Amino acid sequence: DTGVSQDPRHKITKRGQNVTFRCDPISEHNRLYWYRQTLGQGPEFLTYFQNEAQLEKSRLLSDRFSAERPKGSFSTLEIQRTEQGDSAMYLCASSLAISPGTEAFFGQGTRLTVV
Amino acid sequence: AQSVTQPDIHITVSEGASLELRCNYSYGATPYLFWYVQSPGQGLQLLLKYFSGDTLVQGIKGFEAEFKRSQSSFNLRKPSVHWSDAAEYFCAVGPLGTDKLIFGTGTRLQVFP
């Protein structure tokens, strides 16, 4: 197992375009999280899944953002009609939620630049 | 509102010196507390965590942290810093009843030889 994998690592897109990121969690991890990290800030929670169910969404997640985890394994995060303010590092994490506060393992992130 | 404060944006120490990174949180009850490290091009790595019990917790890479309820603090320490410790350090809280993390803004550690 190579840990949490995110693809692509970098994405440059023009404003108004749609982008999709993929996250492959650690095998058998039932929880998957998405965070966003802007320059000089800590990661901010966006949403999380337990298996295929999306259990919580942050108010940061506008209606242009959608996340899926169709089979409870990998997840995708799509941003429609990108704006310059969407430029950030998008981090995925996974955990095996057997008890509260279980350690989350993070991927290396996808860096999005909107020009 | 729940929040995490890391008052030091940037810290510079000499290799071999001791280190203390500060973290204060605001929350109604004692949350789960974490320290993560982020090296350039790397994902966030958990250094240590506190849930309950002994207020001094040991982590990886020789780090430790002390939970002080009266001060709502969870400061990270290392007795002797190595050049490879240069990175960004994030304190995070996990509010009870949720599995999301609330991160501080981070402290960038620079180590001089």
AA letter at A79 = I
pLDDT more than 90, % of chain A = 82
Three-state secondary structure of B77-102: EECCCCHHHCEEEEEEEECCCCCCCE
- Cβ of residue B45 closer than 8 Å to a chain A Cβ: yes
A36-56: pLDDT as tens digits: 999 989 999 999 999 999 999
From the list A40, A104, A108, which residue is nearest B101 (CB)? A104
DSSP A29: -
Q: How far is A4 from chain B (nearest CA, A)?
A: 9
Give me A89's structure tokens. Answer: 């590092």
pLDDT the model gives residue A1: 55
Q: Mean pLDDT, chain A, as a whole number?
A: 93
Q: Do B43 and A4 touch (CB under 8 A)?
A: yes
B29, β-bridge pairs: none
Average pLDDT over residues B83-112: 91
- Residue A50 DSSP SS3: strand
- Cβ of residue A82 closer than 8 Å to a chain B Cβ: no
Q: How far is B8 from chain A (nearest CA, A)?
A: 12
Which among A30, A23, A41, A88 is positioned nearest to A61, based on CA atoms?
A88
AA letter at B68 = K
Q: Do B100 and A45 touch (CB under 8 A)?
A: yes
From the list B90, B96, B99, which residue is nearest A97 (CB)? B99
Set of chain A residues whose Cβ sits within 8 Å of the Cβ of B51: 101
- Cβ of residue A101 closer than 8 Å to a chain B Cβ: yes
pLDDT the model gives residue A68: 96
